[in-house]
Amino acid sequence: MMTATHDQAMNYVYQQMLQRLLSFFSRAERTALQLMIQRLVMSAGGMERIGDYKVLAIQSGSRDSCYTLALLRAAQLSIAGRAPATFQLRVATLRSNGAASTALENIHRSCSALFLYDDPRVEVLMVDNREVQPFNHLAPISEAGRESNRLNLLMVGHRRAWDGPLDLWDDGYLATGEFYGQIARWDQGVDALVSSDTPRRQKQFLEGLNRAAVKAGLKASGCHETGYEGLFERLDELGNDCYREFYPESAQAAWRPAEHFEECRRTTFIDINDMLVSNLEERWPLLTDFLGFQPDELSAHLSDNDYVSLSISAHLRGLQACFVHGRTYEAGVNEFLQRALVMMRRKQVPERFCEQAMETFGNPMTMTDQRALAAVEAQKNLGLSEAQLVCLLFAPFVDNGAALEHFLRQCHPGMLVALPDLHRAMQGGPAPEQVLQWMVDVSGLPVSLIGTLYRMAPVVRDEGRGLGMESGDVGGQAEVVEPDSETTVAGEWSTGR
């Protein structure tokens, strides 16, 4: 009796919350919600099956993912109010080194506002170092997870030609793709991934995933879908461990708890992008007043990329100008700013954000301080020093150390005398202790992994012609990926979330 009374009381609370949530919806949004409910019920195979249907929502703490979560919760509770059962919801977050604490707090506030934590029809999960856990916005990422993410970022990032595009954060696509594939199989799996990503973002994500997969030595895609309809097929091709070509068998943590993963995935994709009827300005009351979302508005307008902050993106442009092109750090940051302004004006972003960008990135008086702050942020969040970021820009180890001499001349002329020792060490031979230590310090990688890169060819992506490969690479021939017409300001990288 107690349980029935409790359930009744909780259902009353949920319905009260739903009424308040719906009061933030425009008439068009309410209509879109009904269409979304129809789409979910149809996918489940009818209202009589909806109680056994489980939906996956990926939560990154971004503006769009929080808004999508609110729509899904409204659909779940609307069905519950007029049917014996409703669909189950799995909300999942991938913990990464680059994620800001504000993103985790946005997820927590959204989940609290939507009463997700104590509802037995909802799972709120996070993955840290391939372990599925209950979501906890206060828990720092594990040390093992931080180190694994740092090494993966470096290994994937180093597989480029030093004079190619700055696709340094491609590991983010690979980690996210692997996460999608595994969280969809966990604990009896899910029936559908629901996403509101635009077709352009879906295409960018799949292109980034394919580019990163080739860098990780995996086979190129045989699938030509440009949207998430082809995502799970592609993830099945890539397998359960997307980093297996970089590390010895037991070096990486397994997905766990292992016994909770289904062998066979049944997940389909439900696209709700066509149902987002309101424009961004109309969504702010729902996001801020109801969900408690706290935006970093400049980032929201400037970057499609969740994998690295704007300040680190600008810092990289400065370092590239300074060390690779022989110009000034300020010139690189200024170039970043000009690209940002062009993109913002093309998107008709309110002028106050353009002014904020100019103040943030264009003030010569604060440039030195900005560089120092960005260096501290990169060390704290990514575990990379400025010297290691510069090393990453030059990618000096791949292709039998083809760019190593150039890197030393530009950045470490005192080490030129040790060039034969460096090559010997990368080939697995003996070398003086101080040379080995220098390699570790300057790259952030153990010598064994530098040796792995030494034996791999760079993945070349010519911006005009897509993605190609050097011959002799373990991954075979890469898929040609056309560059996106609407490049993001963070460079050639963006995200699909």
SS (H, E, C) 375-387: HHHHHHHHCCCHH
Burial of 483 (0-12, 13-18, 19+ CB in 10 A): middle
57 lies in the same domain as 147? yes
211 lies in the same domain as 257? yes
Among candidate residues 340, 363, 384, the one where a domain is terminated: 384
Residue 389 included in any domain: no
145 lies in the same domain as 227? yes
Amino acid found at 322: C
CA dist., res. 418 & res. 187, Å (int) = 53
361 lies in the same domain as 430? no
210 lies in the same domain as 225? yes
452 lies in the same domain as 379? no
Give the list of residues 6+ apart from residue 185 with CB closer than 8 angstroms, or none. Answer: 261, 262, 263, 265
* Containing structural domain, residue 316: 299-384
Instruction: List b or e across 199-229, with b for residues whose CB sees 16 or more CB atoms inside 10 angstroms.
Output: ebbbbbbbbbbbbbbbbbbbbbbebeebbbe
285 lies in the same domain as 326? no
Region of residue 493 (left: phi > 0; alpha: psi -120 to 50; beta: else): beta
240 lies in the same domain as 305? no
Residue 324 included in any domain: yes
69 lies in the same domain as 151? yes
Question: Nearest to residue 255, comparing CAs of 148, 122, 101?
Answer: 148
Residue 472 included in any domain: no
Question: Nearest to residue 304, comparing CAs of 69, 58, 34, 64?
Answer: 64
pLDDT number for residue 484: 36
pLDDT number for residue 301: 59
3-class secondary structure, 330 = helix
CA dist., res. 354 & res. 339, Å (int) = 11
406 lies in the same domain as 378? no
Residue 493 included in any domain: no
Residue 464 included in any domain: no
Residue 479 included in any domain: no
Overall number of domains in the chain: 3
Residue 268 included in any domain: yes
The answer to whether the peptide bond before residue 134 is cis (omega within 30 degrees of 0) is no
Output the tens digit of pLDDT for each of the chain's 497 residues: 447 787 888 889 999 999 999 999 999 999 999 999 999 999 999 999 999 999 999 999 988 899 999 999 999 999 999 999 999 999 999 999 877 778 999 999 999 999 999 999 999 999 999 999 999 999 999 999 999 999 999 999 999 988 888 888 899 999 999 999 999 999 999 999 999 999 989 999 999 999 999 999 998 887 777 899 999 999 999 988 999 999 987 778 899 988 888 777 789 999 999 988 877 778 889 999 999 998 776 666 566 556 777 888 889 999 999 999 999 999 998 888 888 888 877 777 777 777 777 777 777 767 788 899 999 999 999 999 999 999 999 999 999 999 999 999 999 999 999 999 999 999 999 999 999 999 999 999 999 999 999 999 998 774 433 443 332 333 333 333 333 333 344 433 333 33
pLDDT number for residue 368: 81
371 lies in the same domain as 247? no
pLDDT number for residue 302: 62
Among candidate residues 237, 260, 295, the one where a domain is terminated: 295
pLDDT number for residue 306: 63
Residue 356 included in any domain: yes
117 lies in the same domain as 221? yes
